[in-house]
Amino acid sequence: MTLTDRVALITGGARGIGRATALALAADGAHVAVNYRAGQEAAAAVVKEIENLGGTAAAIQADVSVPDEAASLVERTMRELGGLHVLVNNAGITRDGLIFDLDIDDAWLVMKVNFGGVLNCTRAAIGHFMAQRDGSIVNVSSVMAEAGWTGESCYTASKAAINAFTMSSAVEFARFGVRVNAVLPGFTPTDLVGSLLARDKGKALLRQIPMRTFADVDQVAKVIAFVAGPGASYMTGALIRVDGGFGGQLGIGRIG
């Protein structure tokens, strides 16, 4: 168990990749803070599952897009679980739509939650990490940040901002023993990508993925857990795709 007695905070930890990450980190021995904004019952269920497996966890409510709430989230995590060593910035939303039709308030909300949450939680935790000269931050981005996709302009822009922030913060914090990396999931069946899979159960999309399968949330979570842990001790500023080869091809990688 590589994270024994270390404390991890996962934002948006009640469902999807966040839930799977909370369970993966707990399986590696971490005490886990499961952040949620509105899904109290789902967060409590994750905590119960971790406790039933012999782990320690706490559900903590906060809207990470609000700086004061992000700061309170970090403070409560340290108070309730006895410290903080790993921060997984996972919380995110999307508002799909063509640029011409976008509601400007929706567009800024996506940026405020997705990138703002990363910024706010990083700023809230970094003083503690620097003081203890130990910390690992994993930002959950997306393979969509590296290319265009119709109807996803705000989401992709927010994730591209996360990538740039990851690299800059990695450079700033390295001298304090703090690592910052990003994991870029491909198409993973969660609430966020449901609209992309609804039309034909994702068959057209599957044909564009070299491995011909969608990612499972557990597959993504295991990569996050590795990057967060001591096995990745010389990794910082890295953008790691977990996408079945989707981002490594030109176009859709074949003719016809």
111-148 pLDDT, tens digit each: 999 999 999 999 999 999 999 999 999 999 999 999 88
Q: Would the pLDDT of 255 be above 50? A: no
Asked whether residue 256 is domain-assigned, the answer is no
Asked whether residue 88 is domain-assigned, the answer is yes
Name the catalytic one among 115, 129, 155, 226: 155
Establish whether 36 is a catalytic residue. Answer: no
Predicted TM-score (pTM) of the model is 0.94
CATH number at residue 12: 3.40.50.720
Asked whether residue 55 is domain-assigned, the answer is yes
Q: Which amino acid is at 148?
A: G
Asked whether residue 189 is domain-assigned, the answer is yes
Asked whether residue 255 is domain-assigned, the answer is no
Asked whether residue 249 is domain-assigned, the answer is no
Q: How far apart are CA 54 and CA 51, in angstroms?
A: 5
Scanning the chain, the segments in alpha helix (DSSP H) are 16-27, 40-52, 67-81, 104-132, 153-173, 194-198, 203-206, 217-228
Q: How far apart are CA 242 and CA 224, in angstroms?
A: 10
Asked whether residue 2 is domain-assigned, the answer is no
Asked whether residue 254 is domain-assigned, the answer is no
Domain that holds residue 114: 7-244
Tokens of 151: 């109807």
Strand partners, 56: none
pLDDT, position 256: 44
Please state the three-class secondary structure of 58-126 as a single string: EEEECCCCCHHHHHHHHHHHHHHHCCCCEEEECCCCCCCCCHHHCCHHHHHHHHHHHHHHHHHHHHHHH
* Structural domain count, the chain: 1
